[in-house]
Amino acid sequence: MEKIQFGCELLSDIVLNDSSATKGKRRSLDFIPGNNFLGIVAAQLYEETDEAAWLIFHSGHVRFGDAHPSANGTRGLRIPAAFFYPKLKGMEDGCYVRHLVEDDAARGMQLRQCREGFCAFGPDHIATQITVDKDFAVKSAYDSDTRRPMDNQIFGYEALCRGLVLLFSIEIDEEAKAYKDAIVKAICGLHHVGRSRSAQYGCVEIAECDFEEAATLQTPLYIGSRQYVAVYADSRLVFFDGYGNSTFRPQPADLGIEHGEIDWGRSQIRTFQYAPWNYKRQAFDADRCGIEKGSVFLVETDCMPPATGTVGCYLTEGFGQVVYNPVFLQGDKEGHSIFQFVKQEKPACEKRGKGVDSSLVRFLRKRKEDAEKQNIIITEVNKFVETNKELFKQDVFASQWGSIRSLAMVYEDEEKLKEIIGSRKQDEEGKGYINHGMAAEKWNQRGRKERLWEFLENEDFKGYLQEAVINLASEMAKICKP
């Protein structure tokens, strides 16, 4: 058996509902089930030959694993259901492995079960709690006949945020190794998964990627004088009894251990149930009832634990992955986990805002910029009027400001407008409206010309000088009238 590892990066938000129901509150999964990757490969390889289709998709010789969030190059695992923490505290303050804690001690500490999230169990006994960001958007159904939103058809999508990197693997047995290259070629590249793939959701990029997995122990687990094998559910597990019905009580042989007995009192089991939707037949399949990932079985046995294993049914779709005696289920004499739990650190720039570019957004940005400049112009004009009104309280300046306003309404080019009114450079040459003629002498008195030059050279008016001069001339003409 060969295991090929892959990385899956979300290039957009993806919607993976935990149920196929369309009514009520729907939550998004925080992992990508293996059947999504099976579907990607099946879309390209299923029709090649009957033999290839059977070996890859139906025989169980090729198993597409679930993609879990990652941290520090390590694939995350669902927090084991055997992990408990004291009430009103977090896992960072102390985490206990429940089957290693006596019942009386557990009641005294008021322990609470860890039920959600993923942890990356790295070296040096450091467990990183992985942060999985989600987003929620409200949508409306579309009526193609009227080309408008349907009435009373509002729904919401909870989605995994883009930028998340998930890791998974594909196991290929010797019988199907001839199709290895075809499978790798089909799975790598840009693909779409989840719901609403034709809209804004579902774009992912898959590539081969090496990563670390949780370590295991080949020695049995001892609790008191009893010998156990701990079986951790890395993926969901589905079992059937002798009558073909789903069961939540598998036998030790179903877990890959031939001789032994499951200690249900020390095991921590969580269950799931959902009805898968078959797109090809446009119908629901039979309900799948099974053991949720993260569950922990304690099997009392004198056998050595297997190295690896897949158990149960629907193995091709990612079900049935188990880990025997993982190191993270070890603890000290008091039941404390040997791992120290820390929260995942993310760079401040990792969560990028959604870029929006449309004619409406550009229009609103321009309106905002114009409003800000208008506020600057009004402030500077009022400041000029208040400071210099005593210098221009003469009838002759009313006509001067009226002429300046007329010039400003004609010339939009800022440099040309300055030349026409009269700049510092043109002062000696006698060019410009305020530098020649009958009123030039009055502009030269009491520093009037310098005050106007300072206003025209204000850098805050760049791109808006015409509007600023028009406003100034209008206000100054008012105070010059008797």
CA distances from 177 to 41, 52, 54, 141 (A): 15, 11, 13, 45
Whether residues 38 and 176 fall in one domain: yes
- What is the tally of helices (H) and strands (E) in the chain? 10, 28
- Output the CA torsion 244→246→247→250 (10° steps): 60
d(CA 340, CA 114): 15
Task: Please determine, for residue 46, whether its predicted confidence score (pLDDT) is greater than 70.
Answer: yes
Q: pTM higher than 0.75, yes or no? A: no
Whether residues 70 and 84 fall in one domain: no
Whether residues 260 and 372 fall in one domain: no
Residue matched to tokens 């998974």: 168
Whether residues 197 and 247 fall in one domain: no
* Winning range, highest mean pLDDT, from 44-48, 176-180, 417-421: 176-180
**Residue pLDDT, tens place only, 266-308:** 999 999 998 888 877 888 888 899 999 999 999 999 888 777 7
Domain ranges, residue 374: 359-480
Whether residues 367 and 467 fall in one domain: yes
Give 329-333 contacts, CB < 8 A, sequence gap 24+: 329/80, 329/82, 329/97, 329/221, 329/230, 329/232, 329/296, 330/97, 330/217, 330/221, 331/96, 331/97, 331/100
pLDDT at residue 269, rounded to an integer: 94
How many structural domains comprise the chain? 3
Percent share of the chain, pLDDT over 90: 30
Q: What are phi and psi of 131, to 5 degrees?
A: -90, 125
Give me 32's structure tokens.
């990508």
Residue matched to tokens 């409200």: 138
**Residue pLDDT, tens place only, 432-476:** 777 776 667 677 777 777 788 778 778 888 878 888 888 888 888
**Residue pLDDT, tens place only, 302-317:** 888 777 788 999 999 9
**Which of 190, 208, 226 is where one domain is finished?**
208
Whether residues 170 and 47 fall in one domain: yes
Asked whether 118 and 78 are in contact (CB, 8 A), the reply is yes
In a domain, 28, yes or no: yes
Whether residues 86 and 110 fall in one domain: yes
Mention every residue, 6+ apart, whose C-beta is less than 8 A from residue 44. 186
The confidence band for 405, taking pLDDT boundaries of 50, 70 and 90, is: confident
**Which of 321, 347, 373 is where one domain is finished?**
347
**Which of 149, 176, 208 is where one domain is finished?**
208
In a domain, 123, yes or no: no
The confidence band for 189, taking pLDDT boundaries of 50, 70 and 90, is: very high
Q: Show the DSSP H helices in 216-323 as ranges.
A: none
DSSP state of 80: P
The confidence band for 429, taking pLDDT boundaries of 50, 70 and 90, is: low
CA geometry: angle 332, 127, 68, nearest 5 deg:
130
pLDDT at residue 19, rounded to an integer: 74
In a domain, 150, yes or no: yes
Residue 221: strand pairing partners? 228
